[in-house]
Amino acid sequence: MEIKKILNPVDGSDHSMRATEYAIKLAKLMNAEIILLHCHARFPTILAEPNFQKAVNQITKAAEELVKPIVEMLEQDEVKFDVRFLEGNPGNRIPEVVTIEKIDMIVMGSRGVTNFSGLVLGSVAHQVLHKADCPIFISK
């Protein structure tokens, strides 16, 4: 099995940061590229201008700030990567990206920022396990 593209969905949680560390190690071992993905909140379609654009700018800025330290990690480790920002539910969007980008493996955290105690897996990880058509590495 050849792994050339690793999808690393991130949400700013400790779990996703650790997953990125694993993704970097795997990418180095396999000479693979990392596709860093952050799914942000939907843009509010009920707002009129100029409020709609202000909301879009706020959501975009928050997403860029969230991935900034992760991008710095990837640059420091000299791993080939690309960044994607998508609007919507990550449990649905991640499997879509797998198909579109021809992803070979997903490396993601077991839980996200909500971190409900008592759950073995977070809801996004659970959805991705059932919907994605590639191997999935889930880290704690």
- pLDDT tens digits in sequence order for the chain, 140 residues long: 799 999 999 998 888 999 999 999 999 999 999 999 999 877 677 766 787 778 777 888 989 999 999 999 999 999 999 999 998 889 999 999 999 999 999 999 986 645 444 344 457 888 898 899 899 999 88
Query: Residue 97: which domain range?
Result: 5-139
Looking at the structure of the chain, the number of domains it has is 1
- 37 in Cβ contact with 136 (< 8 Å): no
The CATH number assigned to the domain holding 90 equals 3.40.50.620
Tokens of 36: 């860093």
Please tell me the predicted confidence (pLDDT) of residue 120: 43
d(CA 133, CA 130): 9
Question: CA-based angle 61:66:72, to the nearest 5?
Answer: 110
The DSSP line for 88-100 is: S-HHHHHHHHHHH
| DSSP code of residue 131 | H
Please tell me the predicted confidence (pLDDT) of residue 52: 76
Phi, psi dihedral angles at 26 (to 5 degrees): -65, -40
